[in-house]
Chains A and B, each alone.
Chain A
Amino acid sequence: DTAVSQTPKYLVTQMGNDKSIKCEQNLGHDTMYWYKQDSKKFLKIMFSYNNKELIINETVPNRFSPKSPDKAHLNLHINSLELGDSAVYFCASRSGGLFGSPLHFGNGTRLTVT
């Protein structure tokens, strides 16, 4: 069973479109994240939710809107896609109540904006 699963794995779309990426974890974790990995492999945190509540919101354009319907799901909606949004987006989760508990990552969604 995949612990953290993201869909779709690949997403190719045109500039100006709106798209969503879904994430689900079956680990019983209460903290979930979205990370962006650019072409140079740099991993940067975008958002974090704890029990459906937003706790980290980095300087991300407001075209990106995360939504957590329950603590096992964290989706990412992106409006008006731009070329610079092309990257691999990783969902991750961890047990929020335990300091230093490891992050469990999904296998990523490769977004290509043309």
Chain B
Amino acid sequence: GENVEQHPSTLSVQEGDSAVIKCTYSDSASNYFPWYKQELGKGPQLIIDIRSNVGEKKDQRIAVTLNKTAKHFSLHITETQPEDSAVYFCAASSRTGNEKLTFGTGTRLTIIP
């Protein structure tokens, strides 16, 4: 089955700086890669996703890049703000089978004012 590794597990950045979270996946059939943000006491919420036919996608201050050859993808947050503090999860799924979404182990991002 799919295995998704995520690094780092914790990340602290100064407000206004950029944050980068990296993930690798094992199943070459995976072709959908979403990122979720989980705030305290809430469920994860989708913030951006990318499909395997695209190398990069951007939405305001967040962007995701995908390297299919190396089987890794990254989340980039620029101009970080205190409200960006949360736990972030990457995930991967394949169109084959039951499209099971496998999550990474999470990154706790802390923005230092």
A interface list, Cβ under 8 A from B: 4, 40-45, 48, 55-56, 90, 92, 99-100, 102-108
Contact = CB atoms under 8 A, between A and B. Distances in A.
Interface string B100-113: 11110110100000
B93 to A, nearest CB: 8
30 contacts: A40-B105, A41-B38, A41-B105, A41-B108, A42-B103, A42-B105, A42-B106, A43-B103, A43-B106, A44-B103, A45-B102, A48-B100, A56-B98, A90-B44, A99-B32, A100-B32, A100-B49, A100-B51, A100-B93, A102-B49, A103-B34, A103-B36, A103-B101, A104-B46, A106-B43, A107-B41, A107-B43, A108-B41, A108-B42, A108-B43
B99 interface: yes
Interface of B: 32, 34, 36, 38, 41-46, 49, 51, 87, 89, 93, 95, 98-103, 105-106, 108
Contacts of B95: 99-100
Nearest to B87: A41
B104 to A, nearest CB: 9
